[in-house]
Structure 1
Amino acid sequence: MVFKKLLGAVGVGGPSVDTVLDSTTAVPGGPLTGRVLVRGGGADMEIEQITLDLVARVEAEGEDGEAEGTVVFDRAVVGGGFRLAEESEYAVPFSLTLPWETPVTELHGQPLGVVLGVRTELAVAGARDKGDLDQLRVAPLPVQEAILEALGQLGWGFKSADLELGHIHGSGQQLPFYQELELTPPAQYAHTVNEIEVTFLATPGGMEVVIEADKRGGLFSGGHDTVHRFAVSHHDVARTAWNTEVEGWMRQIVDAHAAHAARAGSYGAHGQGGYGGYGHQGGHGGYSDHGHGEHHSGERRSGPSTGAVVAGVAAGVAVGIVGGMVAAEVVDEIGDAFEGDEDEGGDEE
């Protein structure tokens, strides 16, 4: 959907701008191409600069609770320095590369509830105006899709997805926010884990998978979170038995919890009140190399419609956005609460 807005900075009769993307869906680290169409107003004008901003609706935790705002996570100058004649039209083609950590907005065509946009800004006669805002849809990379499909086939269900302002401690994160995909456990883990939050931090060479597990509390201890990290390669997608791989990750997470639980039970029995200072540190324990180790060939993965993750997305579970039109309208209403404050937000341990 293309949104047309007159530029208030130059008054009635000023130029208007449309940004048209060549493809409806992009991928992290991939190209984003299209053209900016500028239409002249009631007088000749100098178009000094055309800028594209990639923006995201992001959540932030603060003293007064949770707030939402806009973060610009990439910016590119795509044109300018030309004279736009009265009532004339001018097309500026562009091509830019999305950051590798660009959040995923959909899975197999089903929206996840994450809102991204491409905002076009014109600089005219010394004034700037954000003249056009278009929805940006981002599909997962093959390795991201394989991991999510495996989680679905292993019984994990999609709950929600959001973007959190801040940095994951100890990671190579580049953007000022990170994406969390919240999944509910299958029956065999439901007594141990409330949910997991999966974050993908992709790079040209591979990807770090950060999984935070929200643990259930026991008789002598409260619940606690643990963080585990796994490295995968873009090149191993076809050679990896992902159900086996991901199941190994889940068992590692549960085993780590069992060790903490036994220790906490001992502390609780002596009246020392549970886990003390473990918190997020419980699962750091080094970097797992599951993604680069021995692979098992021959495992078949069924089609996307069988995954519980996909089923949850298709049902619109807890995402609040279940259609492209609704998502586009939300993009058009994005606020500016966080703009210029990309350093806000704490580190995620």
Structure 2
Amino acid sequence: MFKKLLSSIGVGAATVDTRLADSNCQPGGQLNGVVHVKGGNVEQSVDRIYIFFNTLYKHEVNDKPTYSTFTIEKVSLNEAPFLIGPNEVKEIPFTIHVPYNTPLSVSQSKSWIETGLDIAQAVDPKDEDAIVVKPNRAQQTVLDAIDAIGFRLKKADTEMLPARHRSGRLPIAQELEYSPNGTRFGRKLDELEVVLLQDETSLDVLIQVDKSVHNLGSLFADLTGTDESTHRLSYDVSDLTSGRIQQDVERLIERSL
């Protein structure tokens, strides 16, 4: 009885450890791993095993910028409760689809996997594992084009996307801020702000050309209005080329200056 009481407050209770096959992933790809559940000092009933795919997003609280957790996806790994005996080990493999528009792991952007056990009348054990989100082929094509023009990534933040720009996508989006790196645009603009919105077949590139420095997140602010300095380039991912994007972005910048 005493052991059961201790386990209910987390002492000698079941533990969880998620082991990823590879911590690297891409938007639109998959993340594979195995959840290891080890029993504690007494038998316990595990109602659910949850996998949370989390990231950080920036927003304001009392007019001050802060970062909070956003759950991109929540997956239940078991359909029915199960018992885990003392020191017993169970292994549950999983595959999670990485949603398009998951923030890339650059600058301030961080994502991780959180695993939780739902145990009735007890402290729920959990485990966190960092992941590295790398650009998929379509995204890398855009990033290569911007690099080729002569821009350097300065910072990146993830914010809530205005509802009219979601179209079934995630409600968050990552803004990439670039500064000119000794190019012909260096004396004409301060920064280039880019948001990539992708689904299975298409990729939209939202671009704002800034001729004067202003606060972070201005592209998101402008998306809520009708600012003409924010432009949208739309592509089919099946015929995306760096040369085409480079030409389109250069032409857009020149028209905006």
Counterpart residue number, 1:98:
98
Which residue identity is paired with 2:75? A
Aligned-pair CA distance for 1:112: 3.8
Deviations 1:285-320 (A, max 9, x none): xxxxxxxxxxxxxxxxxxxxxxxxxxxxxxxxxxxx
Retained in 2: the 8 A contact 1:17–1:37? yes
Aligned-pair CA distance for 1:9: 5.8
Counterpart residue number, 1:23:
22
RMSD, aligned CA: 2.3
Inter-CA distance 70–170: structure 2 relative to 1 (3 Å threshold) = closer
Deviations 1:8-57 (A, max 9, x none): 86420001110111122111111121110001100001111000111111
Which residue identity is paired with 2:83? R
Counterpart residue number, 2:3:
none
Counterpart residue number, 1:228:
231
User: How many residues are treated as equivalent by the alignment?
Assistant: 237
- Which of the numbers 191, 197, 216 marks the counterpart of 1:195? 191
Q: Distance in 2 between matches of 1:130 and 1:230?
A: 45
Q: Distance in 2 between matches of 1:70 and 1:121?
A: 15
Retained in 1: the 8 A contact 2:149–2:250? no
Inter-CA distance 168–182: structure 2 relative to 1 (3 Å threshold) = farther
Helix, strand or coil at the partner of 1:136: strand
Aligned-pair CA distance for 1:248: 2.5
Aligned-pair CA distance for 1:62: 4.3
Retained in 2: the 8 A contact 1:122–1:128? no
Deviations 1:62-107 (A, max 9, x none): 44221111111211101252110101111011112111121111xx
Gaps of 5+ in 1: 1-6, 106-110, 218-223, 259-349
Retained in 1: the 8 A contact 2:46–2:84? yes
TM-score, normalized by length of structure 2? 0.84
TM-score, normalized by length of structure 1? 0.63
Which residue identity is paired with 1:150? A
Counterpart residue number, 2:126:
131
Q: Distance in 2 between matches of 1:254 and 1:63?
A: 39
Inter-CA distance 171–254: structure 2 relative to 1 (3 Å threshold) = farther
Helix, strand or coil at the partner of 1:36: strand
Question: What fraction of aligned residue pairs are identical, expressed as a percent?
Answer: 28
Helix, strand or coil at the partner of 2:41: coil
Retained in 2: the 8 A contact 1:121–1:128? no
* Aligned: 1:155 with 2:150: yes
Helix, strand or coil at the partner of 2:246: helix
Inter-CA distance 136–44: structure 2 relative to 1 (3 Å threshold) = same
Retained in 1: the 8 A contact 2:32–2:95? yes
Bigger strand share: 2
Aligned-pair CA distance for 1:250: 2.8
Counterpart residue number, 1:254:
254
Where relative contact order (Cα < 8 A, 6+ residues apart) is larger, the structure is 1
Q: Distance in 2 between matches of 1:9 and 1:140?
A: 43
Inter-CA distance 113–62: structure 2 relative to 1 (3 Å threshold) = closer
Retained in 2: the 8 A contact 1:167–1:178? no
Counterpart residue number, 1:38:
37
Helix, strand or coil at the partner of 1:251: helix
Gaps of 5+ in 2: 1-5, 214-221
Retained in 1: the 8 A contact 2:20–2:32? yes
Aligned-pair CA distance for 1:61: 2.9
